[in-house]
Amino acid sequence: MSKLNSLPVWRRNLIVLWFGVFMTGLGMSEIMPFLSLFIDQLGHYNKPELTVYSSIVFSVSFLMMALVSPIWGRMADRKGRKLMLLRASLGMGIVFFLMGFVTNVWQLMFLRALQGAFGGYVSNSNALIATQTPREHAGQSLSILVTGMTAGTLLGPLLGGALASVFSYRMSFHITGIIMLTVFVLTYFFVKETFVAPKPSKDGQLPAKKTFKDVTQNKLILILFITTMAVQIVNMSINPILSLYVRQLNANPATITFVAGLVAAMPGISTVLAAPRFGRLGDQIGSHKVLIFGFSFAAIIFLLTSLTQNIPELMILRFLTGISDAAMLPSVQTLLTRNTKTSETSIVFSYNQSFQSIGAVLGPLLGALLANIFNYSGIFVAGTLIMLFNLALFTYIRKRNQSLNQLS
């Protein structure tokens, strides 16, 4: 702890918030290996009922997060980001712990909704790092923060499965709750924020609340929101059919689950490895150039993935998909920071998280739909088209913004 205190404030913030973001990703994803099995223990359901309840319980957290994130973002810009970090970590810690006591699916559904409502740790971590880190380190710091969420989401299903096997489903929730309460304590004692509350105008009124229309007057901000949603849609679209796609590529039936797990882990591994490097590169040559590379690279990789003939090819291409994510996601965060007033940083990052949550809900639905209409390869062709469309839109809006700035 003494070593932590001896570090520069911005670096200490980064370390503590990385751990907090990592645990948030872990908590959001660890339920996946045993969600349906746990729900099955809470009642007597047939297969269609179990599928519906599992889908609702999983998605309700993301839906609630999409709805409430802007509310917490407005409060963060008025009261400070650290306060919102404490609210989120304490709320999620309590909610996770209570999940271990549920007796029916409706209680679990309600608590998952509360989990989403108490969300905002990730968006406020991004906002605090963006506003409290020296400009020359901002891009790299935000990139490192992305690796925390990615690593947590990657390891969550592995940890959840291990905890459920060693202890029980209920104990898994208790342990996660205790860890999130630890995040609350670390955030309280070690995260420092120099926050200046918005000053009242001459008539004593605080600045008006920023609506979505106000926030997106700069169309580049809107395109960055859409980019976040698009990346999430494309990444999540393969989830419903991953095991089936692996089976189609002639994997050994006895190892399908294991191989599918490896394939699913590939993007996360490469994102964790590559994101800090792209962050440094963005600080040097411009984050917009790294983002354009990410769009282009992703389009190529998705197109090649649609032509995959075997498991090794699929694993390599999914690994390369993570590299494109490492180029795009931190670049979006950095560009949002550089095109936003400090007083509006939290609300902008909160809207960005809302778009990410919407993508997490729409992605699996789109993937299942495309797989039924065009077969599995159609999902990756659609990913290519989405990335190319995003590239064209981003390039057009950025050039338009530059022209308007020159005219003014």
Segment 74-114, tens digit of pLDDT: 888 888 889 999 999 999 999 999 999 999 999 999 999 99
Category of 161 on φ-ψ map: left (φ > 0), alpha (ψ -120 to 50) or beta:
alpha
Q: What is the mean pLDDT of the chain?
A: 83
Q: What percent of the chain has pLDDT over 70?
A: 90
What's the token pair of residue 263?
A: 């394939």
Sequence-separated (6 or more) residues with CB below 8 Å from residue 336 = 130, 221, 224, 348, 349, 352
Q: Which CATH architecture has domain 209-408?
A: Up-down Bundle (1.20)
d(CA 41, CA 37): 7
Question: What's the pLDDT at 208?
Answer: 53
d(CA 280, CA 37): 43
% of the chain beyond a pLDDT of 90:
22
The domain made up of 1-193 has a fold known as: Growth Hormone; Chain: A; (1.20.1250)
Q: Is 198 exposed, middle or buried (0-12, 13-18, 19+ CB in 10 A)?
A: exposed
The string of pLDDT tens digits covering residues 383-403 is 999 999 999 999 998 888 776
Would you say the C-alpha torsion 68, 69, 74, 75 has a positive or negative sign? positive
Spans of the chain, pLDDT less than 70: 1-5, 32-33, 197-210, 239-241, 243, 251-252, 254-257, 403-408
Q: Where in the chain is the domain with CATH 1.20.1250.20?
A: 1-193, 209-408
- Residue 41: partners with Cβ closer than 8 Å, 6 or more residues away: 169
- Confidence (pLDDT) at 343: 73
